[in-house]
Amino acid sequence: MFSVYKKELQSFFFTPFAYALAALFMFLFTYMFNTSIARLDSSTFRFTFPEIFYNLIFFFIFLIPIMTMRTFADERKFGTEVLLMTSPVNVLQIVLGKFFANVTVFLFMLLGSALFPIVTALNGEVIVSQLACAYIGFFFWGCMFIALGMLISSFTENSIIAAIIGEIVMFAFIFLDDFSQTAFMSQFPKLQSVVYAFAAQPRFSYFSQGFIRVSDLVFFISAIIVFLAWNYISIEKRRWNRG
């Protein structure tokens, strides 16, 4: 697994790709930070970043499919998938190695955003507990969509198509709770409750408010495991089809 992990990291950090993503993320975070400051009534910084993280996910959803679109699509496009499948590394290790490499890039992007709480703490007050909850929730939210983006990438050899489909699916996932509250869904209460149970947005909102619920952690971790399992099945099925 480490060999796959190392190879994926090199594909990110030995090219401008990871740095371009990090720069875009920092631009979005800076924009959200400045917007939050502009809304303050006092010259003293006293906010916990929950609103920043909550609003950031709507913009960050554009970056995740770009990050994951090449995961398996480029392997098929350039014919390196055959070499990968015939290597001593099994499919589960391949999927996990690529997943942890993407998560590492995600953490690299989050690390840069830590500058803003530090600046805020030097000029005002930061409620550390709520800030930590916001980071934890955003991390698990990002990991879930990374696993989903990898799954979509395994279905096609065109990375652009993988990115476009990823954008559509992830946006649909984000607004799942809004859809469950529509007048149409209210006609089917049982179906409405099922659809709402799969909505990630309300669960992330608890983190952004400074709360950690075990049920929300279980939801995100379970979703990550399910998406990775489907990813494993998708790659394993294609490996067997090749003979």
3-state DSSP of 88-106: CCCHHHHHHHHHHHHHHHH
Say which residue, 87 or 236, is predicted with more confidence: 236
pLDDT at 210: 76
| Residues 127-173 pLDDT 10s | 788 888 888 988 999 999 999 999 999 888 888 999 999 989 888 88
C-alpha 127 chain-centroid distance: 25
CB neighbour list of residue 201: distance below 8 Å, 6 or more residues apart: 174, 175, 176, 177
Measure the CA–CA gap between 152 and 174, rounded to whole angstroms.
Answer: 16
The pLDDT assigned to 152 comes to: 93
* Pair of tokens at residue 3: 């060999």
Q: Say whether pLDDT at 43 is over 60.
A: no
Q: Which of left, alpha, beta for 49 (phi over 0: left; psi -120 to 50: alpha)?
A: left
pLDDT for the residue 44: 45
Residue 242: which pLDDT band, with cuts at 50, 70 and 90? low
Task: Round to whole Å and give the CA distance between 79 and 86.
Answer: 12
Q: What is the pLDDT of residues 177-215, one digit of tens each?
A: 788 888 888 888 888 888 888 888 788 878 877 788 899
pLDDT band, very low/low/confident/very high, at 243 (cuts 50, 70, 90): low
Nearest to 180 by CA among 193, 166, 163, 171: 193
